[in-house]
Chain A
Amino acid sequence: MRQSAEARSINADIKAVGESQLKNHLEELDVILIGPQVRYLQNKIKAQAESRGKVAVIDSVAYGMVKGDKVLDQAIALTK
């Protein structure tokens, strides 16, 4: 995702955290993407973080193929 953002001249701060750590990272966010394997947490995370940014589950095909550019597309679409 970082490579793809750089190639497209998008200034993006992208990081990954474990679910239990999310509460420590709830500063200003634009997008919160959830790994498909923890999609059952979506409602909980929405309740916790929806005021901070858009919450969605990562597209499982893009996830499975490790397509960072596709996930970045998903994140950008969510901010529009």
Chain B
Amino acid sequence: MTTSFSGSSRAHRDDCQYGEAAGRLQETRQFVDAIGLAKSYQFEEAHKKIEEADIEFVEAHHMQTKLLQDEANGHKNDVSVILVHEQDHLMTSMTVKDLANEMINMYEKIQQLGGGEMKIILVCSAGMSTSLLV
């Protein structure tokens, strides 16, 4: 039987998978952070955040592909709850990434449409004390 996780003992392999799940959780957060950046029109930073999170993410995706290929080749993996959990995080992360990219594009459009800046003017008396509110 082959697995893509290093280590001979099952406990060690489970540790690796648990670490993988935590890694995906981290990337999901980064994708959400990227949406937050786009919300305040920091598009360059938003795209950078997605690229950064993507590096590790692609690796995790390869790992999943390998597990699938192994199984297709007749090498059956034993499925642990932690592996299922990891896969769950991977899928969540993938969905959030796609949506984050869409939403960043939407915020870019919103800014172009001028829905971004609100122009407010305060009219003061001669003393200009109202300007303290600005």
Q: Give A contacts to B, CB under 8 Å.
A: 1-2, 9-20, 22, 25, 27-35, 37-38, 41, 45, 53, 58, 63, 66, 68, 71-72, 75-76, 79
Contacts and interface: CB of A to CB of B under 8 A. Distances in A.
Contacts of B118: 10-13, 30-31, 75-76, 79
B128 interface: yes
B134 A41 contact: no
Given A20-B126, A63-B130, 13 more contacts: A9-B40, A13-B117, A14-B120, A18-B128, A19-B124, A28-B119, A31-B118, A31-B119, A53-B119, A53-B121, A58-B130, A66-B133, A72-B120
Contact of A22 (B40, B123, B131, B133): B123
Contact of B125 (A11, A25, A37, A71): A37
Contacts of A25: 121
Interface residues of B, number: 22
Nearest to B127: A37
Nearest to B132: A66
Contacts of A41: 123
Contacts of B117: 11-13
29 contacts: A9-B39, A11-B40, A11-B111, A11-B117, A11-B118, A12-B117, A13-B117, A13-B119, A14-B120, A14-B134, A16-B131, A18-B128, A22-B121, A22-B123, A25-B121, A30-B120, A32-B121, A33-B123, A37-B125, A38-B124, A63-B130, A63-B133, A66-B132, A68-B134, A71-B133, A72-B120, A75-B118, A75-B120, A79-B118
Contacts of A45: 123
Contact of A35 (B39, B111, B129): B129
B7 interface: no
Contact of B124 (A13, A18, A68, A76): A18
Most interface-central of B125, B126, B129, B131 (chain A CB within 10 A): B125
B123 A2 contact: no
